[in-house]
Amino acid sequence: MDAVIFKGPFEVAVERRPKPEIIEPTDAIVKVRVSGICGSDLHAYRGHQKTEGGYIMGHEFVGTVVKTGGDVKVFGPGDNVVSIFSPCCMKCWYCLQGLTNRCTFGAAFGFKALDGGQAEYVRIPHADGTLRHAPTGLDDPLLIMMADIFPTGYYAASRAIEALHTQKLSRLTSFPKDSSTSTDLQSLTADSVLVCLGCGPVGICAIAAARSKGIKTIFAVDSVRDRLDEARDLGAIPLQLGADDIGEHVRAATEGRGADGVIELVGNQEALRSAFDLLRPAGVLSSVGFHQADLPFTGLECYLKGLTVSFGRVPVATVFDAALECLKENEKALRHYVTHELPLAQAKEGYQLFEQHKARKVILCV
Amino acid sequence: MDAVIFKGPFEVAVERRPKPEIIEPTDAIVKVRVSGICGSDLHAYRGHQKTEGGYIMGHEFVGTVVKTGGDVKVFGPGDNVVSIFSPCCMKCWYCLQGLTNRCTFGAAFGFKALDGGQAEYVRIPHADGTLRHAPTGLDDPLLIMMADIFPTGYYAASRAIEALHTQKLSRLTSFPKDSSTSTDLQSLTADSVLVCLGCGPVGICAIAAARSKGIKTIFAVDSVRDRLDEARDLGAIPLQLGADDIGEHVRAATEGRGADGVIELVGNQEALRSAFDLLRPAGVLSSVGFHQADLPFTGLECYLKGLTVSFGRVPVATVFDAALECLKENEKALRHYVTHELPLAQAKEGYQLFEQHKARKVILCV
């Protein structure tokens, strides 16, 4: 079969590889229809994440089940599916806690440990936990968002909003004069001011999710004009890095306090420091960016700000249903999000376009 | 009047000072009956927190209102009160959000900006928000805990438990097969394994609060044997720094995973690093320690662990009622917590005893 192989920094190639076979009875084989190129593929592509080459790339894919192992109960040949970006067994302690991103058997598709889905076929470990039946009415360019970027954006936004909700709830518990006030998440957090740092694909999904959850004021920060246009179309206030005074805009919207929450999706020290500086005292930071360096704030700064911060990636299986509902609500706005549909053979060009910000989202059609 | 004056590192003195007067119409003057020495007084006392001397120390005190400004509505002369450790106006944006620790007019008692309560009298700004009527049936050694250490410990524990609750709730939302399961905080978090790093006064209060909230397994870590005895009496499992292999005990209790939550109350890099290492993936860290140095973990470590961490101090006004209920539940266990009641004139000795861990808790009787 044809497969996209990572050769080294800025080098991918379509090569012939053997078709994958069932290894464990919990495996399934999926014939891939469409595979996405994700921002996190660029960590390896750009050489930021050191990794030996030779494996099949890609952790976003949709397709059809063609073969299943003897222990697969939920799926069978012919099923139209989307895969979560890393396997989850749904049986280990972490999966049973809903921390499916920490599954004992977890290993992201598209790295050395587990071949990915930018290929004609892909082997799915723990298929019953890892796959999801494709919902009717969602075409592939939207469906593929459910493999990673939409749940990731949804989670990044939800985590910030839930932390603000918890903060607000404690006030209501102690000041019962407000007992007529609704305690639901949307009522309590709608007036919170959020900043989304980074408006690539995940940022766009985070903004869509935050809007669906009722947040009225979201500042969208990026350097790429096209991304800011997309963010504006979703109802965010675009601010361009290098052109706009981000802090000034955020302070003007908050009587000088700073943002209630920041969603950080960039993954470098500068972005994380901006996030910290943009937050008001006791603000909340949801960081999904893949950070490699030291944290750019001291213990004293964290103490004095009263910071709450969450790091790390999404448990897709746990948020899947809620995220899917949210994606459907935003279907119209996200319908044209995929700007480039290329044949698998043009994977190299796809990576180049995406890496150079010449494409919003690239998918490879097998 | 007599007052305890901070002179410089390891030096306090009882000196004569003018009695405070009403300055603002929202002020009250309190005649102090008992004033506590708190662990956070030691930051300045030990010279870790650089501060010019000359002010009256102390932010824990109970006493009787003797005079009020024209705008004070809730309190009048003769009222028996406990004061929150820093003023809160209950009118600014932060106070109205329940973030009373961030009150626009907030400034801790017992520092340069605001004279403290280790004195015969103390001026209370924003008295209607800052003071609380002393509940009946609570004698001074327990009541004074409500100024700072009990709400602080309560908050440190609650913050960790609430974050674990949020984590567990998201599982229930997505796996509705468990719909018979109760979603309340206690049902969902009782089996969580917590570690309390630092078992000084605040640690003891945090352990009491975590036990009251139903947590069954709490490891109490300290180097001081007497503190560990107290922690054990409250139902925690004592582990002595330097003698016990802390990580080994925690892993043995969690099938090798690590703690679900860590409450960190020490305030140095070593403790914060231990907290990080003791946590399981996606664990939660509640840090109340006053940190001055860099954070001892990298962005990559935070991302890979999926860490959630909250820093900073308690909004006492917001948690006061709930913390008071919790204190009452633990009244019997905490009744003998104050080991030294000294006259104000012996403040110097009191600081020495406390600083050298020869006293659990010292209060100064005026």
Any B CB within 8 A of A136 CB: no
Minimal Cα distance from A164: which residue of B?
A: B97
**Nearest by CB to B321, which of A99, A174, A318?**
A174
Nearest-CA distance B351 → chain A (Å): 25
Indicate whether A135 and A170 sit together in one domain: no
Give the pLDDT score at B51: 83
Residues A172 and A302 both lie in one domain: yes
Nearest CA in chain A to B314: A306
Tell me, what's the ipTM?
Answer: 0.93
For residues A140 and A155, state if they share a domain. no
Asked if the C-beta of A132 comes within 8 angstroms of chain B's C-beta atoms, the answer is no
Q: Give the angle B273-B276-B280 at the CA atoms, nearest 5°.
A: 155
- A143 and A249 share a domain? no
**B79 falls within a domain:** yes
Residue B98 touches partner A, C-beta closer than 8 Å? yes
CA proximity to A224, closest of A205, A211, A243, A209:
A243
Residue B169: the pLDDT is 82
| Same domain, residue pair A217 and A295 | yes
CB contact under 8 A, B312 and A295: no
Name the residue among A97, A101, A171 with its Cβ closest to that of B318: A171
- In Å, what is the CA distance from B205 to each residue of B117, B220, B324? 22, 12, 11
Q: Please answer yes or no on whether B101 and A282 come within 8 Å at the CB atom.
A: yes
Residue B177 pLDDT: 54
Same domain? For B222 and B250 the reply is: yes
- Which residue on chain A is closest to B294 by alpha carbon? A298
Q: Are residues B267 and B357 in the same domain?
A: no
**What CATH number is associated with residue A44?**
3.90.180.10
Q: Please state, in angstroms and rounded to a whole number, the distance separating the CA atoms of residues B270 and A170.
A: 31
Last residue of a domain, one of B295, B311, B327: B311
* pLDDT attached to residue B172: 66
The boundaries of the domain holding residue A66 are: 2-147+336-365
* B107 near A CB under 8 A: no
Per-residue pLDDT of chain A (366 residues; tens, 9 = 90+): 999 999 999 999 999 999 999 999 999 999 999 999 998 899 889 988 888 899 999 999 999 999 999 999 999 999 999 999 999 999 999 999 999 999 998 889 999 999 999 999 999 999 999 999 999 889 999 999 999 999 999 999 999 999 999 888 877 665 655 556 677 888 889 999 999 999 999 999 999 999 999 999 999 999 999 999 999 999 999 999 999 999 999 999 999 999 999 999 998 899 999 999 999 999 999 999 888 888 999 999 999 999 999 999 999 999 999 999 999 999 998 988 899 999 999 999 999 999 998 998 999 999
Least confident of B25-29, B171-175, B232-236, B332-336: B171-175
Q: Which of A99, A163, A303 sits opposite B282 (nearest CB)?
A: A99
What CATH number does the domain containing A214 carry?
3.40.50.720
Q: Is residue B128 part of a domain?
A: yes
d(CA A190, CA A174): 21
Environment class of residue B330 by beta-carbon count within 10 Å: exposed (0-12), middle (13-18) or buried (19+)? Answer: buried
Report pLDDT digits (tens) over B302-354.
999 999 999 999 999 999 999 999 999 999 989 888 999 999 999 999 999 99
Cβ B291–A303 below 8 Å, yes or no? yes
Q: Are residues A16 and A163 in the same domain?
A: no
Both A276 and A169 in a single domain? yes
How many domains does chain A fold into? 2
Domain presence at residue B211: yes
Residue B327 lies in a domain: no
Q: Which of B303, B305, B325 is the best substitution to test chain A (most A C-beta atoms within 10 A)? A: B303
CB proximity list for A176: less than 8 A, separation 6 or greater: none
B183 touches chain A (CB under 8 A): no
Flag if B307 and A305 touch (Cβ within 8 Å): no
Is residue B324 assigned to a domain?
A: no
Of chain B, the percentage scoring pLDDT greater than 90 comes to: 83
Q: What is the pLDDT of residue A317?
A: 95
Residues B222 and B159 grouped into a single domain? yes
Tokens of A202: 């995940």
Q: What are the pLDDT digits (tens) for B195-241? A: 999 999 999 999 999 999 999 999 999 999 999 999 999 999 999 99
Q: What is the pLDDT of residue B179?
A: 57
Confidence at B43, pLDDT banded by 50, 70, 90 = confident
Within-domain flag for B318: no
**Residue A196 to chain B, least CA–CA distance (Å):** 18
Chain B touched by A102 (CB under 8 Å): yes
Largest CA distance in chain B: 69
Residue B321 belongs to a domain: no
Supply the pLDDT for residue A51.
Answer: 84
Two tokens, residue A56:
């099949």
Long-range own/partner contacts, residues A175-179 (CB < 8 A, 24 or more apart): A175/B98, A175/B318
What string of DSSP letters covers B284-345? EEEE-S---SB-SSBHHHHHHHT-EEEES---HHHHHHHHHHHHHHTHHHHTT---EEEEGG
Under 8 Å between Cβ of B299 and A293: yes
Are B117 and B247 within one domain? no
User: Do the chains contact at B98 and A307, CB–CB below 8 Å?
Assistant: no
- Tell me the average pLDDT of chain B: 94
Answer whether A298 touches B (CB < 8 Å): yes
The reply to whether A175 touches chain B by the CB within 8 Å rule is: yes
Strands B308-311, B340-343: pairing kind? unpaired
Are A227 and A206 contacting, i.e. CB atoms less than 8 angstroms apart?
Answer: no
Please check whether residues A58 and A103 belong to one and the same domain: yes
| Domain membership flag for residue A100 | yes
